[in-house]
Amino acid sequence: MRIIFCVIVVLFNLISNLDAAYSDNLEVTIDVLEPSEEPGKIAPGIQYLEDKINRSPLKYQNYMELASAFRSIPQGETGKIEFNLRQQLKLEIRPIDLGERKVKFSLKIWSGGSLILESDLTLVRMGTVMVGSPGNPDLIIAISEGF
């Protein structure tokens, strides 16, 4: 009897986790990075991005994490994230379609009050998109689903 109960609890937990993984919310992590040509390593807080950074066309020697935020945004609503760094960054993210394998969302980014990007993006689950933001210094904004 005890074994059957444990198996049912484990199955229930697995099913609950699957439902939570594909809920009606888009879970995103936003990291703002300052790249430089100075020798160094990837900061510990963004090591999960190391493989993506190494495969990107943005080639720098060092990446410093300036800010990070996590949001869970319901489908159809707009999540607003602001970073007050040397230049003010503002992001608006609106989930459009949250599929089992891919997510689609609308993204707007302002830097210093100017709209620099407005686009609909589709990512594979657990994917990342990196956007360069011109300024002084230049910044890289990494938007990752599910981290």
The answer, as to whether pTM is greater than 0.85, is no
Whether omega before 44 lies within 30 degrees of 0, making that bond cis, reads no
In the chain, helix, strand, coil percent, each to 5? 20, 50, 25
Cα-Cα-Cα-Cα torsion 27, 30, 31, 35, nearest 10 degrees, comes to 130
CA 90 from centroid of its chain's CA atoms: 14
Supply the pLDDT for residue 23. Answer: 66
As a whole number of angstroms, the distance between CA 116 and CA 131 comes to: 10
Supply the pLDDT for residue 22. Answer: 57
Tens-place pLDDT, residues 113-144: 889 889 999 999 999 988 887 666 788 889 99
Q: Split the chain (147 residues) into runs of 10 and give each run's mean pLDDT.
A: 35 36 80 86 82 80 89 92 86 92 92 89 90 76 86
Short-list 40, 105, 53, 112, CA closest to 78: 105
Nearby residues of 136 by Cβ (< 8 Å), 6 or more positions away: 86, 87
